[in-house]
Structure 1
Amino acid sequence: MEQILRVSDYLLENAEKVIDQVIEEVKTNIKFELTEEQLNLAKQQNVEFLRMMARSFPATDEEAAKELLEWAEKQGETTSQNMEQFSQSIEPLAKNRLIYSTHISQIAIDMGIDAERIVRIMNRFNYLLDVAMVHTIKSFEKHQAQKLKERQKQINELSAPIVPVQEGVAILPFIGIVDYERMEYILNYVIPKIPKMGTDHLIIDFSGILTIDSEIAQHIFTLHNVLQLLGINLYFTGMRPNITMAIVQGNIDFSDFHTYGSVIQALAVIEKTK
């Protein structure tokens, strides 16, 4: 154990120097250009990992892995912020692992560590590297999913804006693809805003979409009923024949719906009711 602790102390004291040497050699395996910021981040991450590994030498594999979890969570989040695809990071892993392990084993050889203990050191290094990679990937995927969810929310917001056009009158244009998720967003986040805007008449314009399915048609029926309960007069415009067919195929009675060919026609009708 004394020999292993000597290597541990050396790595803790000289982590930055060792990683500088490793990174210089590793850069030749990377096919994409790294910015100065990315290089500094890589150095910081690897210095932290090397020190964690060195501190783990007296511990069991299970005890050593515990410290890695929090570190890997942070690395996954950071990688998610800087890269869209984790494959950029892991593609050169095999060669980089060899470079990394060669440096560490050479340090141990130069310190006169015997072969058995060098093997133990390298087994610990490879074990921790595998654990770190697995948990970093999981963290990366989690944070990527959160980013996608936030982007989808932003898309939904941009695709379902409430546009006031007159006092007490607003338009909700449907733009792009109207799917289940977007209808859920409209029902849960857009509709509650309408009464707060002092809107008495809402025009939902379908001219910006090509088609809907019967499930979405059912949601539109729900939307109609909710707005009626809120005391808001609802008008549908720009409904193509295929959209109307989807409503019919959904066995929805839309005889009470106020439908018009264009927003201008609906506005003219609203003007007469005032």
Structure 2
Amino acid sequence: MSLNYKSQVELIGNKIGEMKYHIAREMAEKLDNDTDQALEIRAEIVQIIADGLSQDSIKAVMNRITTWGEVTGKQAITYGVALDESLKSTSKIRQLLWSRIEEIVKRYNLSTETVFEVARKLDPILDQAVYAYSTEYVKSYKGILEEAQENFLTLSAPVVPVLEGVAVLPIIGGVDTVRADVLLETALRESTQQDLTHLFIDLSGVTVVDTMVAHYVYKIIQSLEMVGVKAVLAGIRPEVAQTMVTLGVNFSEVKTYSTMQQALSKHLSAESLLK
């Protein structure tokens, strides 16, 4: 052809754009995914690449492909698409595009210089698509994990009302600094919302009591006292009591009971005597 190489590159871009749905359907056959939405997503990236070849404004194309990657990366998380499966599609689209480009080059007898120019434009666009997609995918996945962890921590610190002005905070499992902060925040918030006078902290389900756990329990007790709530410790096993004494944490001014049943029974008895 008598076209200069830039016009030849533009020709390839236009032809690729015309074939976008055909290429998208070819990808669907190889990936066993032919939903209308998936077809449109693949057709869109083909069109962006086609525009990148046929237009001079590579910056605008890079912005479009970045947006495409971010949107589809977030959608992939929503629909439960695995990252490795998604990245396979990038390899497939690269292969299909070069296959179609080869056909166009042969059909129109385009120059070698044109092929090199297409490669210089095509590969960075696809690389940016992969980068934007992967970054948003990981970001969204991390967000979901953090939200799930936050929900779990909130559910793992329930303040259960048992009587008017009285509630129980059962602590089950291990306690790290993150969970300890949630326990403290929940205890204070729920004590205020439920207008509590007493909060029974049940430690029977705590697996390990070390210095950090003991100090955090003491911190919760002190914080509750500052808002007018009396904390009572229950479910303290002998080995836990021994650990607390060994750690030098002073619970002498705090009422403690070996079981929650014993603690509530004593509290009810005291309440009945006051009536």
Is TM-score (shorter-chain normalized) higher than 0.5? Answer: yes
Aligned to 2:19: 14
TM-fit CA distance, 1:110: 3.2
**Structure 2 spans left out of the alignment, 5+ residues:** 1-5
8 Å CA contact 1:204, 1:235 repeated in 2: yes
CA shift, 1:95, in A, is 5.3
Q: Equivalent pairs: percent with the same residue?
A: 23
How many angstroms apart in 2 are the aligned matches of 1:254 and 1:116? 82
Distance of 2:127 and 2:225 partners within structure 1: 58
Alignment counterpart, residue 165 of structure 1, candidates 159, 162, 169: 162
Deviation at 1:129, TM superposition (A): 1.1
RMSD in angstroms over aligned alpha carbons? 2.4
Answer yes or no: is the 8 Å Cα contact 1:237–1:260 preserved in 2. yes
- Distance in 1 (alpha carbons) for counterparts of 2:132 and 2:245: 50
Q: Do 2:165 and 2:198's aligned partners in 1 also have CA atoms closer than 8 Å?
A: yes
**3-state DSSP of counterpart to 2:232:** strand
Choose the corresponding residue for 1:237, options 234, 237, 241.
234
Q: Counterpart in 2 of 1:51?
A: 47
Q: Are 1:224 and 2:221 matched, yes or no?
A: yes
**Corresponding residue for residue 258 of structure 1:** 255
In the other structure, the counterpart of 1:31 is: none
Which residue of structure 1 lines up, in the alignment, with residue 3 of structure 2? none
Q: Quote how far apart the aligned CAs of 1:197 are.
A: 0.7
- What is the number of equivalent residue pairs in this alignment? 265
Q: Tell me, in whole angstroms, the C-alpha distance in 2 between the residues paired with 1:84 and 1:174.
A: 36
Structure 2 SS opposite 1:194: helix
Is 1:106 paired with 2:103?
A: yes
What is the aligned partner in structure 1 of residue 152 from structure 2?
Answer: 155
- Consecutive unaligned residues of structure 1, counting only runs of 5 or more, are 28-33
Residue of structure 1 aligned with 2:134, choices 121, 128, 137: 137
Instruction: Check the 8 A contact 1:176/1:208 in 2, yes or no.
Output: yes
Deviations, residues 36-62 of structure 1 (Å, cap 9, x unaligned):
6xx444322221111111122223655
**Higher Cα radius of gyration:** 2
> TM-score with structure 2 length normalisation?
0.85
Query: Structure 2 CA distance, aligned partners of 1:153 and 1:219?
Result: 19
CA 178–8 in structure 1, closer or farther in 2 if over 3 Å, else same: same
Question: Are 1:172 and 1:202, in contact at CA under 8 Å, matched by a contact in 2?
Answer: yes
